[in-house]
């Protein structure tokens, strides 16, 4: 994982970021990380599950002891996440990354101007029935923003909108709720 400002990452206290930093140092099993990060195995596993679904963390090794399997987690090679914002925004940034395609993620990472980039993020859940109306309003907004583009005066910002079905563990595909 590449991160330009490790010091600023250190200041962040969100568990996902602490887990990513720990795994950046070395791959580890839940029990190893649990003590190091002072998180209970249950809480740690909860966050690891999210990071896995975000394609940031993967099981890189399985250890066998009798009939027990212990999973060793590591970062997904090549995953690049830029986290500069603090507090809740940073957590949401990670959730955001979970829905971006690699291309978009790379784009943000490569193009972000050093030192001054902040990301504002909002995650909302919407029912499937409201999706057409939400899409329509977002399109109107994006169309309005396009006329504001000023290519001649340097720094510009990109807005990415991701709408994706929320798949809970017990959900069937057809009953999945939408999250935007």
Partner 1 sequence: MWLHSAVLDNGLKVLVQDLPGQRTVTALLMFNRGAKDEEVSENGISHYVEHVAFNTSHHTGELKRLAQQLLTRGAQQNADTTKEFTTYYMTVMEEQLPAAIRMLGLLLQEFSALPQVVENERQVILRELSMHHHSAKRIFDLFAECLWGTYTLGLPVIGREETVRRITAEQLSAVVERDYTADNAVLVVLGKCDHRRVYDLADQAFSRWRPSGQRKGEYLVSQTPSILVHHEPGAQNALLCIGAPGVPHGHLSASALDLLNSILAAPGEGRLFRILREERGLVYQLTGLSTHYRHAGAFGMVTNCATRDVKTVIRLIVQEFDRVRRYGVTEEELESAKARLALERYLEAENVMSLAKRLASAALFGETYTVQDLNRQMQATSPQEVQSAASEYLKRRAVSVAGVGTMEEEEIAALI
Q: Which residues bind partner 1 (CB under 8 A)?
A: 30, 34, 40-43, 45-46, 49, 64, 67-71, 125, 127, 166, 168-175, 177
Question: Which residue, 32 or 109, is less far from partner 1 as judged by CB?
Answer: 32
**In the complex, minimum distance from the CB of residue 174 to partner 1, in angstroms, rounded to a whole number:** 7
For residue 86, the SS3 value is coil
**In the complex, minimum distance from the CB of residue 143 to partner 1, in angstroms, rounded to a whole number:** 31
Token duo for residue 138: 């977002």
> What are the φ/ψ torsions at residue 73 (nearest 5 degrees)?
-100, 145
Question: Which residue, 24 or 179, is less far from partner 1 as judged by CB?
Answer: 179
**In the complex, minimum distance from the CB of residue 129 to partner 1, in angstroms, rounded to a whole number:** 12
Token duo for residue 43: 């809480």
> Cβ of 1: how many Cβ atoms within 10 Å?
18
Question: Which residue, 50 or 107, is less far from partner 1 as judged by CB?
Answer: 50
**In the complex, minimum distance from the CB of residue 137 to partner 1, in angstroms, rounded to a whole number:** 21
Question: Which residue, 31 or 142, is less far from partner 1 as judged by CB?
Answer: 31
Token duo for residue 5: 């400002």
Token duo for residue 29: 């099993």
> Cβ of 173: how many Cβ atoms within 10 Å?
7
Token duo for residue 85: 């914002």
């Amino acid at each position: 994982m590449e991160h330009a400002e490790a010091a600023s990452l250190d200041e962040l206290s969100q568990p996902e970021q602490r887990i990513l930093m720990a795994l950046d140092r070395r791959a580890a099993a839940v029990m190893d990380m649990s003590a190091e990060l002072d998180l209970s195995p249950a809480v740690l596993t909860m966050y690891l599950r999210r990071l896995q679904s975000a394609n940031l963390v993967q099981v890189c090794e399985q250890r066998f002891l009798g009939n027990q399997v212990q999973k060793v987690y590591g970062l997904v090679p090549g995953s690049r996440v830029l986290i500069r914002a603090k507090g809740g925004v940073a957590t949401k940034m990670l959730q955001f990354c979970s829905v971006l395609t690699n291309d978009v993620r790379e784009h943000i990472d490569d193009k972000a101007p050093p030192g001054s980039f902040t990301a504002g993020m909002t995650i909302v859940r919407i029912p499937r029935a409201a999706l057409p109306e939400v899409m329509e309003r977002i399109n109107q907004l994006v169309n309005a923003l396009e006329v504001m583009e000023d290519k001649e005066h340097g720094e510009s910002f990109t807005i990415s909108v991701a709408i994706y079905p929320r798949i809970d563990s017990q959900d069937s595909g057809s009953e999945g709720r939408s999250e935007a």
